[in-house]
Amino acid sequence: MSEPASTHHAHGHGAHDDHHHEENFFLKYFWSTDHKVIGMQYLLTGMFMALFGGFFPYVFRMQLAFPGISVPFYGVVSPTEYNALVTNHGTVMIFWVAMPVLIAAFGNYLIPLMIGADDMVFPRLNRLSYQVFAVSVVVIIASFLVPQGGFGGAWTAYPPLSANPDYNLTPWGSTLWLVAVALEFIAFLIGGINFITTAMNSRAPGMRWSDVPMVVWMICIASILFMASVGPLMAGAVMLAFDQNLGTHFFDPKAGGDPILWQHLFWFFGHPEVYVVLLPATGIVAEVITTFSRKKLFGYKTILYTAIGTGVLSFFVWAHHQFIAGIDPRMANVFTVTTVLISIPIAEMMFLFIATLYGGSIRFKTPMLWALSFIALFMIGGVTGIPLGASGSDIYLHDSYYVIAHFHYTFFPIAIIGSFTALTYWFPKMFGRMMNETLGQVHFWITAIAVNGIFIPLFVLGAAGQHRRIYNYNHFAQLSTPDLQALRILATVSLVILLLAQFLFLFNFFYSMFFGEKASKNPWKGCTLEWTTESPPGHGNWPADQLPTVYRGPYEYGVEGRDEDYWPQNVPN
């Protein structure tokens, strides 16, 4: 199980050690195999892509609220551009923001630190993962700049629209989009192998499976889900690329292909993907609520089982995206059962998080506010999934704004709130300085309130029959009423407020990085191992002779008979 510190240090670095003292800038930042540097690069790349992912909805929501206006900082939005904007908002936010920040950035940064290792077990593979990811970033950005513009066939890329340039009119954009997504998958496959292997083999001496912090577990489970689900989609992506460029007909019904096949391949990946990003976010929330309520996690193993249960079930629900897609209607009954049942482990996990608060001593610092808002808002996303998973009501709600509101109430807490929870919590460790608490709280409250102003109106619009991906509702008599338009404007205004508030965060982030108050090793008095080393940790995380040994679980807060209310994992007694 756990190796002695000296041997795992040796295999962690090996050949790399002999030159790390003479690194120049290029080697340090472009060729570094230090997991912290790579994690930071993923983080900053993800934040950079979030600028795109955040700017797109500003443009298309302005168009929806005020059809035909020249959007400030953009211009008039054509239908082609509108389609490309909604398509790439989804694609970028999931594959280039949520995945790199939640899994790659925090997975890379936290796993070795939290299990007491000096680096990943495959540091060079880790570097390769980021390099491939960086190429995918270049390709997806390039896809907006080619003739005829970016791909606009929705992030699900259903053929025949996506397969044939005669239909989608973006011969370059659609191919580059597909290549970018495929490269991104390769990057995360490589990264996932590394996370799982590291967590299995490099845990500090004494660290049993039940001593592993929840966020490490969750990132590993998410990586396994990703590896198990992405294969079919990779095959599908290759087939689709062939259809686009080599004249094959895998998805072309005119030549005997089947467009529905793509939907199965896509959603067989696409639904587990939701849990691939959800689980790391719940892991982050688990770390933060335990620290700030000074409580042991309520039912550590049960939470783990609910995560594994959700992961397994998530492979059996994909066709709920296809109830009305032309599959055999009898299939819908099977997938309704599996889909509705997935509410059980997820509800249980939320109950356990809430139960963790019982008997605690809760401090409402910025990271805690984010973690709590994750629970409060994710629940809205959770319960509104039920009418969509229930086949009967999905007939009406499918592809309506109700769906958009539902999954944004899951993805916003996951990708945005989850990331802010982690960033504000681990910022002192990453940069050695504290973020400004007042600015952090102001940013939190504006964001957490504004998000409801965006998506509650969308629930109503969806229930009123408004469909997705339509650039101007004036073409539909029943949808161009003043009441519905007022809701659209409300959503857009809320979005603009939310986006403006993010500048507070960016200011706080970069200002605090250089001028914040100096952070101690353990500013939040946490029990897990990353708080036992310097802030920020040096190369190798701990001095080679001081790698930690683990004596207990990660959440020993409030143990009776001790002076302090926390008992770090590495303290012998």
What part of residues 166-205 is at the interface with another protein (CB under 8 A)?
Answer: 167-169
Rule CB under 8 A: which of 366-405 touch another protein?
372, 375-376, 379-380, 383-384, 386-387, 390-393, 395-400
Distance of alpha carbon 163 from alpha carbon 129, whole angstroms: 28
Distance of alpha carbon 145 from alpha carbon 158, whole angstroms: 22
Per-residue binding string, another protein, 472-511, x by CB under 8 A, is: x--xxxxx--------------------------------
Q: Which stretch binds another protein (CB under 8 A): 270-278, 499-507, 539-547, 553-561?
A: 553-561
First to last CA, the chain: 23
Which of these, 419, 526, 529, 378, lies nearest to 103 by C-alpha position? Answer: 419
Which of residues 371 and 434 has its CB atom nearest to another protein in the complex? Answer: 371
Per-residue binding string, another protein, 308-327, x by CB under 8 A, is: ---------------xxxx-
DSSP element (H, E) containing 487: helix 482-515
Per-residue binding string, another protein, 70-109, x by CB under 8 A, is: ---------xx-xx--------------------------
Is 279 a binding residue for another protein by CB under 8 A? The answer is no
Q: Which stretch binds another protein (CB under 8 A): 18-26, 96-104, 105-113, 163-171?
A: 163-171
Is 51 a binding residue for another protein by CB under 8 A? The answer is no
Which of residues 174 and 424 has its CB atom nearest to another protein in the complex? Answer: 174
* Type of residue at 493: V
Is 14 a binding residue for another protein by CB under 8 A? The answer is no
**171-201 helix and 214-245 helix, angle to the nearest 10 degrees:** 150
Provide Rg for the chain, Cα atoms: 24
Residues present in the chain in total: 573
Per-residue binding string, another protein, 347-366, x by CB under 8 A, is: xx-xxx-xx-xxxxxxxx--
Is 33 a binding residue for another protein by CB under 8 A? The answer is no
What is the phi-psi region of residue 158: left when phi exceeds 0, alpha when psi lies from -120 to 50, beta otherwise?
beta
Distance of alpha carbon 34 from alpha carbon 430, whole angstroms: 13
| Nearest distance, CB of residue 481 and another protein, angstroms | 10
Which of residues 384 and 535 has its CB atom nearest to another protein in the complex? Answer: 384
Sequence-ordered list of residues with C-beta below 8 angstroms from that of 239, at least 6 positions apart, any chain: 248, 250, 251, 262
Which of these, 36, 26, 82, 191, lies nearest to 537 by C-alpha position? Answer: 36
Is 340 a binding residue for another protein by CB under 8 A? The answer is yes
DSSP element (H, E) containing 76: strand 75-76
Per-residue binding string, another protein, 236-275, x by CB under 8 A, is: -----------------xx---xxx---------------
Characterize 495-526 residue by residue with b for buried, 16 or more Cβ atoms within 10 angstroms of its Cβ, and e for exposed. bebbbebbebbeebbeebeeebeebeebbbbb
Rule CB under 8 A: which of 212-231 touch another protein?
none
Of 437, 517, 564, 565, the one binding another protein by CB under 8 A = 565
Which of residues 260 and 504 has its CB atom nearest to another protein in the complex? Answer: 260
